[in-house]
């Protein structure tokens, strides 16, 4: 099953299973069944099977963690609980511990009342669409085979998981470089990186100003983090910092702001890293992998360097798949998911930030000078919440989309898609003319709202 027909799955979206906590499918009983199905799918061979389970700081994690643990243990699999830890850290720990599975309990950038499950195979990569479809079929099957009473798994906590990840991340920073003399504001979104991110920056020598490091179970991503970088910008300016970085709730994405508080998105960060790596003869594949949402200015900038921008469907899993197919070592999303296959198997906001900081130190220039790599073309994204049905199949919406494509012409881009994690339709347009882009988006959004918006 490929990215184009992923919607045939019922539970899984673009990034695992996600929904309102304690409502289907994010209920203890359903996730226990999910764990059993995943366990059976990955119960291969006679060795003692192991599952690593991490989570972010949401209140519902206390409910979902034991349900998943019970499901895996019932299938005869041992479980290692690592507690609050970034999603990329769980991928790292899965490989490091030679585990058969990695599980993250997180809804990433969503508010606290949502939660979700992300799954990693023994190689540290997120599961394919085919694997997810097979797991869904097993959940509905009477053929699950729990372990015998004497063969149940065991669960234990791994106390040094955070320390292991901190050292792993520090090893990705170029040997011989330090952050001494730099003041850095880090916004951890009251999420999974609230301990590890400030520690990494401090141990590398920075003067660290930490915000979003007081999780209470309900304040994850609330007016902070990568989806609300205004708080970061204000603190950077107020403290005279050299740079600010904002992670999201599970720390797999990063948004940066320069010393003036100006926001720098994932496209600009990938362009910066691509330039640095190409100069050092480190960039593989002849380009960068990104999604259909990335800015046309980024594509043109790479083209001017003789590099290609390879586009995929939205979702960092699809970026990773294309990277592996073409041996690219850099890819990501405009939202700040940046995947560097030299260092990891999934987006890692903290490691990506260190690559930017390495350029800052090496070039001895201000963030405002190195982070504005290309001129962004006018781009507008609006989200329309809908109450059910299929608004995109309605003739009025189809006509509005067709008219928008015609108006933008060959020099523009129009992307209309359902969110894989929320009941939203995302309408994005890019082009040379900012007013035209705005009008195209407004017309399509208006048609969707007429048909099924709420």
Give catalytic status of residue 108 as yes or no: yes
Q: How many angstroms separate the CA atoms of 83 and 69, rounded?
A: 13
Could you tell me the two tokens for 240? 């005279």
Q: How many residues does the chain have?
A: 454
Ramachandran angles phi, psi of 177, nearest 5°:
-90, 150
CA distances to 38, 41, 70, 128, 276 from 75, rounded to whole Å, are 9, 10, 9, 22, 47
Q: How many angstroms separate the CA atoms of 399 and 405, rounded?
A: 10
Could you tell me if 95 and 74 are in contact, meaning their C-beta atoms sit under 8 angstroms apart? no
Could you tell me the two tokens for 353? 């930030």
Ramachandran angles phi, psi of 300, nearest 5°:
-70, -35
Residues 6+ apart with CB under 8 A from 124: 91, 92, 94, 95, 102, 344, 345, 346
* Helix H or strand E segment including 83: strand 78-84
Degrees to nearest 5, angle at CA 349 with 348 and 350: 95
Contacts of 201-208 with C-beta under 8 Å, sequence gap 24+, read: 203/166, 203/170, 204/170, 204/173, 204/178, 204/179, 204/354, 205/178, 205/179, 205/180, 205/181, 206/179, 206/180, 206/182, 207/181, 207/182, 207/183, 208/183, 208/184
Q: Pick the catalytic residue: 60, 106, 108, 341?
A: 108
Could you tell me the two tokens for 153? 């798994």
260: exposed, middle or buried (Cβ count in 10 Å: 0-12, 13-18, 19+): exposed
Could you tell me the two tokens for 454? 């709420």
| Angle, in degrees to the nearest 10, between helices 434-451 and 395-408 | 170
Q: How many angstroms separate the CA atoms of 194 and 172, rounded?
A: 20
Would you please indicate which residues are annotated as catalytic (active-site) residues? 108
């Amino acid at each position: 099953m490929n990215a184009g027909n992923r919607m045939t799955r019922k539970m899984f979206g673009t990034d695992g299973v996600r929904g309102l906590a304690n409502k289907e499918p994010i209920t203890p009983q359903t996730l226990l069944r999910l764990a059993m199905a995943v366990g059976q799918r990955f119960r291969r061979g006679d060795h003692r099977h192991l599952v690593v389970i991490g989570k972010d700081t949401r209140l519902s994690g206390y409910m979902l963690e034991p349900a998943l643990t019970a499901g895996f243990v019932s299938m005869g699999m041992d479980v290692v609980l690592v507690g609050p830890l970034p999603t990329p850290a769980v991928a790292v720990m899965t490989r490091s511990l030679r585990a058969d599975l990695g599980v993250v309990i997180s809804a990433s950038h969503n508010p606290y009342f949502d939660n979700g499950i992300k799954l990693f195979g023994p190689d540290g990569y997120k599961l394919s669409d085919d694997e997810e479809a097979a797991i869904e079929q097993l959940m509905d099957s009477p053929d699950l085979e729990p372990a015998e009473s004497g063969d149940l798994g065991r669960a234990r906590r791994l106390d040094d998981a955070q320390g292991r990840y901190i050292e792993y991340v520090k090893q990705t920073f170029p040997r011989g470089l330090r952050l001494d003399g730099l003041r850095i504001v880090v916004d951890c979104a009251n999420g999974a990186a609230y301990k590890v991110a400030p520690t990494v920056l401090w141990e590398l020598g920075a003067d660290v100003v930490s915000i979003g490091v007081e999780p209470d179970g309900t304040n994850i991503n609330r007016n902070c983090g990568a989806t609300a970088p205004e708080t970061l910008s204000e603190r950077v300016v107020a403290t005279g910092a050299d740079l600010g970085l904002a992670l999201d709730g599970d720390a797999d994405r990063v948004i940066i702001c320069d010393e003036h508080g100006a926001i720098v998105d994932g496209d600009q960060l990938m362009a910066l890293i691509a330039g640095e790596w190409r100069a050092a003869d480190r960039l593989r594949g002849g380009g960068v992998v990104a999604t259909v949402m990335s800015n046309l200015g980024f594509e043109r900038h790479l083209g001017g360097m003789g590099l290609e921008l390879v586009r995929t469907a939205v979702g960092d899993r699809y970026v990773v798949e294309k990277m592996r197919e073409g041996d690219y070592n850099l890819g990501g999303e405009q939202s700040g998911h940046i995947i560097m296959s030299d260092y990891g198997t999934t987006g890692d906001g903290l490691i990506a930030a260190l690559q930017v900081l390495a350029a800052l130190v090496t070039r001895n220039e201000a963030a405002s000078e190195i982070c504005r790599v290309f001129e962004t073309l006018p781009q507008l994204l609006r989200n329309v919440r809908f109450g059910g049905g299929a608004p995109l199949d309605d003739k009025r919406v189809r006509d509005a989309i067709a008219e928008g494509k015609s108006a933008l012409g060959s020099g523009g881009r129009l992307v209309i898609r359902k969110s894989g994690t929320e009941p939203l339709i995302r309408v994005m347009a890019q082009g040379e003319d900012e007013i035209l882009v705005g009008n195209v988006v407004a017309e399509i959004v208006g048609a969707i709202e007429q048909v099924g918006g709420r």
